[in-house]
Structure 1
């Protein structure tokens, strides 16, 4: 399958009006027809990752699935990833930082333990953002399917079904889904939650900066990044122009 249109052919504002009411599977199908073999998807093998992995591979069984392995994921995540990769026969592309965890800690210390946003941002760029950017470039991606939901963070509330980031189109099939929609899909297709869900986790990333949700937490993202921030940077605008475009489209 080859890409059917050039990036210059796409009018984001007009397309978002068209794509807004498509259901998740229809949007994935539109993405497959529009971008062909330049379409990829990402996964974190997080709490609800089985939804997107199943949804997308029903349409594109061989789509490249990018997994950024920070080297600090919980043991349960690695086992969950192995289980889903085998069950869904994923075309998994694993990317990691060029700097090993041991080397990073020797040169920069335990960045997640310094209780400031700058240190966390440095950590996230090295272990997540740079490997993802490298993956997209090496795989020749022109479009990227991501399982973001508007209820997760304030930034994600501003997104459309189709967006741009760092020159790449992003499609958000389940952007408008709520937790009940996720539950219904998992149940209907006999898919598992991440095993840490049973221990009270509603979102999970690295072992050192994820914890179960408590009654005092205002929202689920308070359980990540020591409560210092909502986003790791993978899904944030990479240029001022992108940020301005996003802000204007959400007015």
Structure 2
């Protein structure tokens, strides 16, 4: 696909398509260099099933921060086996122990700059490396408009850095996700039964509470909505965190 593509026109043409049809479109538009990402979060089975039924051998990138709950690792193992995923696990070259020795427990500093450094080391750098090593041209992601302010601005297709991002379930709500899980007898993350609506690292996730205005209030102590993976480099606040951080 030409990088001069008219994103507005493409997005308009995809508006009436189902999520599965959007995946079919992506597979046809990008016969090479198409990947997807997963966090093995609460509802990750939806996107994994939706995409792999169309592109069974698609590289599935999982950024393992080294701080995920034990339940996430077991959930990932079970789901990977069940769906026969072509899983590509990426991690920071800096071990958790080394990071803590040099930078301290960044998640305890209650400071957005510290959170950004943590996210760059543990998530953004490994993702950038994955995109490069896998020669990714396009990236399927399960972002939904109702999740964050940034995601409200997205279309079905967007450009992030050198890659195109495709969001098949962009307009889905929680009910749509639940219906898909039930219809295909798919599991959800075990933390859902503990009141979590989203789950990331064990130290920066908590259950949803009555006073929360958004599900993202349960992450990063509500100080930031995005971890940087789904933001342009200039917006991820990682520009100042060069390779000397690793």
- Normalising by the smaller structure, the TM-score range is over 0.9
Give the corresponding residue for 2:95.
100
Deviation at 1:206, TM superposition (A): 0.1
Deviation at 1:37, TM superposition (A): 2.5
**Aligned residue pairs: how many?**
235
CA distance in 2, matches of 1:84, 1:221: 24
- Give 3-state SS (helix, strand or coil) of 1:42's partner: strand
Note if contact 1:66-1:93 (Cα within 8 Å) is conserved in structure 2: yes
Listed as ranges, the matches of 1:195-234 within 5 Å are 195-234=190-229
The alignment's C-alpha RMSD in Å is 0.9
CA distance in 1, matches of 2:172, 2:178: 10
CA distance in 2, matches of 1:215, 1:7: 47
Give the corresponding residue for 2:13.
18
Give the corresponding residue for 1:60.
55
1:204-243 deviations in Å (ceiling 9; x for gaps): 0000000001111111100001111100000012247xxx
- Give 3-state SS (helix, strand or coil) of 2:84's partner: coil
Give the corresponding residue for 1:248.
none
Deviation at 1:134, TM superposition (A): 0.4
Deviation at 1:11, TM superposition (A): 1.7
Note if contact 2:32-2:137 (Cα within 8 Å) is conserved in structure 1: no
Listed as ranges, the gaps of 5+ residues in structure 1 are: 1-5, 241-251
Deviation at 1:8, TM superposition (A): 2.8
- Give 3-state SS (helix, strand or coil) of 2:3's partner: helix
Listed as ranges, the matches of 1:126-205 within 5 Å are 126-205=121-200
Note if contact 2:142-2:168 (Cα within 8 Å) is conserved in structure 1: yes
Q: 4+ residue stretches of structure 1 with deviation over 3 A?
A: none
CA distance in 1, matches of 2:101, 2:16: 50
Listed as ranges, the matches of 1:35-114 within 5 Å are 35-114=30-109
Note if contact 2:196-2:207 (Cα within 8 Å) is conserved in structure 1: yes
CA distance in 1, matches of 2:2, 2:127: 20
Deviation at 1:9, TM superposition (A): 5.2
TM-score normalised by L of structure 2: 0.94
CA distance in 1, matches of 2:17, 2:107: 39
CA distance in 2, matches of 1:211, 1:129: 22
